[in-house]
Amino acid sequence: MTYNGYKDWDHWNVSLWINNDETIYGAAYIMVSSMGAKKAAGVLSKTLAGTKTPDGAKYTYNNIYSTLLDMEV
């Protein structure tokens, strides 16, 4: 079962916050542009380790990586 076209609610919610928080989006976009989605997801997942979106979804590597793949050109 999917959630709004995403694997699950956590993937959707992390994507929602990364794409709509100006600070996180800007940082993610710059990192993806310079090092690719895989490495950028590694950096962001370490930076955001142990934190959650305001709605309670965990910023895990997989949740972040699936979001950043859409930013990769």
CB atoms within 10 A of CB 35: 13
Count of helices and strands (H, E) across the chain:
3, 0
Amino acid at 70: D
For 8-32, write each residue's pLDDT tens digit: 999 999 999 999 999 999 999 999 9
Quick one: tokens of 5?
């076209």
Quick one: tokens of 35?
């090092």
pTM: 0.92
Quick one: tokens of 13?
């919610």
- pLDDT confidence bin for 72, thresholds 50/70/90: confident
